[in-house]
A and B are shown apart, each in its own frame.
Chain A
Amino acid sequence: MRVLVVDDEIRMAGLVRRGLEEEGYAVDVAHDGPEAVWLGTENTYDAIVLDVMLPGFDGFEVCQRLRQANRWAPVILLTARGEVDDRVRGLDAGADDYLVKPFSFAELGARLRAVTRRGQAARPAVLAVGDLKLNPATRRAWRGDDELSLSPKEFALLELFLRHPGEVLTRTRLLEHVWDFAYDGLSNVVDQYVGYLRRKIDRPFGRNDLETVRGAGYRLRVTAS
């Protein structure tokens, strides 16, 4: 397993490297933001241990740049900044885990293992299919440059479609994932809301991406953009 460790404190970086090497990892070290992005883009790592306070640009930005460059190595942020705001920001920037210093090696090891189990599928923080874009953290969505104004249910529905582009989603599945167990209404609420959604994302733009598949369900078409 190859790991990139990024920390500007030489002592800290050295210790983490030593600790991980003793557990059998192959470790590269970077001491600033630009170096981290360069190494992360050039090489494929199984995991990245990333400090937040770095010279150049900070760990949050390193993470964003790597994701933009389509590098999906799992990132554990390892930092002394432990406020809730920092953690939210880090995770929304595309990190997979957040560990506050002082930390224990045992925990770092366990989290590394947990995070590498998940694999390296593309896991963008912001969903995008064609010119539709949706940011689950900020609850905003766009088609092209136009921002869409969606109700919470419409938003949740669009999010589900964007997570399964080109797939047929049955009414049951839509109902189960967007409405909760307590929902006791008619199942044509799904049809209703797909209608609302179409009226907001397709009709004003003269598009027809949200299609009905007769007898099966609905599908969001993947158009080449």
Chain B
Amino acid sequence: MPIRVRLTLLFAGGTALVLVLASVLFVHFMDRELRGSIDSDLRARSDTISQLFSKAPGPVTLPNQPNGVAQVFDAAGRLVASRGAGRAPLLTPADLRAATRRPLSVSRTLNEELPTPAGDHTRLLAVPISRADGTWVLVVGSSLEPADTAVDRLRFAIAIGGPATVVIAVLAAWFLASAALRPVERMRHQVALMSPSEPQPALSVPSTRDEVAALATTMNDLLSRVGVAIARERAFVADAAHELRTPLAILRAELELAGRPGRSHEQLTQAIGAAAEESDRLSRLAEDLLFLARSDDAGQQLRRQPTDIRPLLAAAAAARDVDPGERPPITVAADPALVADVDPDRLRQAVDNLIDNAIRHSPPNGAITVAGCRDNGALVVAVTDDGPGFPPEFLPHAFERFRRADTARARVDGGAGLGLAIVRSIAEAHLGTASATNRPSGGAVVEVRLPVDQGH
């Protein structure tokens, strides 16, 4: 059920309840008040008249009763005097007998044939009068009609006014609720118009500085962040697709040329070799892309375990030392006792990437060092080379995806610019950092710092 309807119903229900309670109480007390004042009046009149008849033989007529009726009964229960009520006794004999002992109040509707304000709903008060010749009874009565009418009128007014008030309250509640909810509906409408692929933080923030404005501001923040994330993702996909196209084109061209008639065995072998190499490059690229896509999506799932660092670094270095005669060996420097709580596969992947970069940028006789040590509660792995170092304008962007130091990919084995991005992703998954600097003595250093103490 819409909030507006719920609020209005609740409000209407509450108002109606309050009104009913108030009316009931008011009418009740009004009634009591009115009857109370009639009873007091009757008591006063009975006192006055009792005085008159208290001494035997006493008068035989009652004074004029402008506002009611009165009757006097003697000790034997015979009607002695009557005013305003004719000759019919106002009380039954039983009541009379009861009244001889103590005052009796009763309400009766008098016989309509009586000539007076009779036929009315009347309140009667019967009091005993002690006389020398027995206990007489005086009955005085007042019409309850005014009281009844007053209460009836009140009830009528409430019967009309009450529902009217409830209706007005309902309308007021409806308008207020609508007014309050209108900004919400406006926002909902704006959001509905937004396209999911291009979220803009374009919700209009109302100037009321209330909860709705706060909601709009927060939503705009979210939309900004989502927009940034989507743009980044889209850029990644576009770049990835583009990067994949080049090796694919080479592969295809290689095969198409090899497929032309009249190829010698040697040419075919060469073409197949080149195609295989390009396939490798493609699958490495695809793996790298998948890795990065996955870490964007779900964050890297690390499997930390106590790892011997030196053997890991040595294995990475050995895997690359395929032509020991061609270049100086890669030096590994780490304490054999160095053990840290890291994900060994991921660390190996990062070190592999760093060594590849170093090899790619090293001169033929350049020395490459892979060092590991513990520093301030962190495992630090650094790869150093003797190459030209990072171009200064590239350094701040070194770890971004698809960024290469030489934007010309004029190298035969040109990478796609993902190696360092992957290293950073692995470092961040370990809650660590990756950094790159140029050594003053020449060459570059890329350092990975992984916090491993305190709870890991």
Contact = CB atoms under 8 A, between A and B. Distances in A.
Mostly, the B contact residues are helix
A110 interface: no
Contact of B410 (A55, A82, A101, A106): A55
Contact of B253 (A12, A22, A32): A12
A80 B407 contact: no
Nearest to A82: B245
A80 B256 contact: no
A207 B411 CA distance: 58
A102 interface: yes
A193 interface: no
Contacts of A103: 249, 252-253
Contacts of B248: 101-102
B408 interface: yes
B246 interface: yes
Contacts of A105: 253, 256-257
B209 interface: no
Mostly, the A contact residues are loop
Interface string B398-411: 00000000111111
Given A101-B246, A102-B249, A55 B256 contact: no
A9 B257 contact: no
B410 A102 contact: no
A104 B252 contact: yes
B410 A12 contact: no
B254 interface: yes
Contact of B257 (A10, A15, A31, A80): A15
A22 B242 contact: no
B243 to A, nearest CB: 8
Given A11-B250, A81-B242, A101-B245, A18 B408 contact: no
B254 A15 contact: yes
Contacts of B411: 10
Contacts of B253: 12, 15-16, 19, 102-103, 105
A8 interface: yes
B235 to A, nearest CB: 13
Contacts of A11: 250, 274, 278, 412
A12 B249 contact: yes
B424 to A, nearest CB: 24
Contacts of B13: none
Contacts of B246: 9, 12, 80, 101
B249 A80 contact: yes
B408 A101 contact: no
B161 interface: no
A43 B250 CA distance: 28
Nearest to B257: A19
B414 interface: yes
A31 B408 contact: yes
Interface string B222-253: 00000000000000000000100110111111
**Taking each of A15, A18, A19, which has the highest tally of chain B beta carbons within 10 Å of its own beta carbon?**
A15
**Taking each of B242, B246, B411, which has the highest tally of chain A beta carbons within 10 Å of its own beta carbon?**
B246
B265 interface: no
Contacts of B409: 8-9
B260 interface: yes
A208 to B, nearest CB: 52
Interface string A73-116: 00000001110000000000000000011111110000000000
Nearest to A31: B410
Contact of B250 (A15, A55, A104): A15
Given A9-B246, A9-B250, A55-B407, A104 B414 contact: no
A102 B408 contact: no
A55 B254 contact: no
A10 B250 contact: no
A11 B254 CA distance: 10
Q: Rank and list the top 3 A-B pairs by shortest CB-CB distance, nearest first.
A: A55-B408, A80-B245, A101-B249
Given A8-B410, A22-B260, 4 more contacts: A11-B278, A12-B246, A31-B410, A102-B252
15 contacts: A8-B408, A8-B409, A8-B410, A10-B411, A11-B278, A11-B412, A15-B250, A19-B256, A22-B260, A31-B410, A55-B406, A80-B249, A103-B252, A103-B253, A104-B252
Interface of A: 8-12, 15-16, 18-19, 22, 31-32, 54-55, 80-82, 100-106
